[in-house]
Amino acid sequence: MKILVYKRTHIGDPDVKGRFGINDCMGTIRNFDFDAVIGVGGTGKEPQSFGIDRKLNWIGINPMRQQGSRRGRASIVTFKKFALFEDRGPLLHSLAPNLAKRMYAGRRFIFKSMNTAERTEALELLKLVDGFYSASPDESVIKSSFFCKPSGCKRKRRAKRCG
């Protein structure tokens, strides 16, 4: 299984319907031949302002590229299995310490270069959405004891640039 893990700076892409690229985030990387995506919060001021820093933000499995639905540099991608955690996700280090160490050592994304420990952790993270899918905003967060409590809305109203 080919897994893309990348750092996010803001919420809203993917949206609550599971549309990855709705704001053109990650550009042409969305066209990589992946089987799953794991989005984790970055470490800077912007991810901190959204409450997503260093947290597991979302997971999508079995991508479906939307024909004719390009947004900017690449296709919009939806997933057969999708879970959106945003600021309610656990700290990545608590579930995948090896993957967290690698991601927070200056990487923007990891795709083909995971070592055995990182890959094992990424596969374990994918199990969190096994059998789960919801495009409904009311059901978009897995309800589990290790996820953080909602911390209030921190959404910014200004447009965001993605990279």
Q: Is residue 163 part of a domain?
A: no
**Is 48 domain-assigned?**
yes
Residue 7 has pLDDT above 90, yes or no: yes
Task: Look at the chain and report how many structural domains it folds into.
Answer: 1
From the number of C-beta atoms within 10 Å of its C-beta (0-12, 13-18, 19+), residue 44 rates as: exposed
Question: Within a domain: residue 155?
Answer: no
Check pLDDT > 90 for residue 33: yes
Q: Answer yes or no: are the C-beta atoms of 97 and 56 closer than 8 Å.
A: no
Cα separation of the two ends of the chain? 25
Q: Is 96 a member of any domain?
A: yes
Please give the residue range of the domain that contains residue 53.
Answer: 3-133
Q: Is residue 157 part of a domain?
A: no
Q: Is residue 49 part of a domain?
A: yes
Q: What confidence score (pLDDT) does residue 38 get?
A: 97
- Is 113 contained in some domain? yes
Enter the pTM of the model: 0.80
Interval 84-93 mean pLDDT:
94
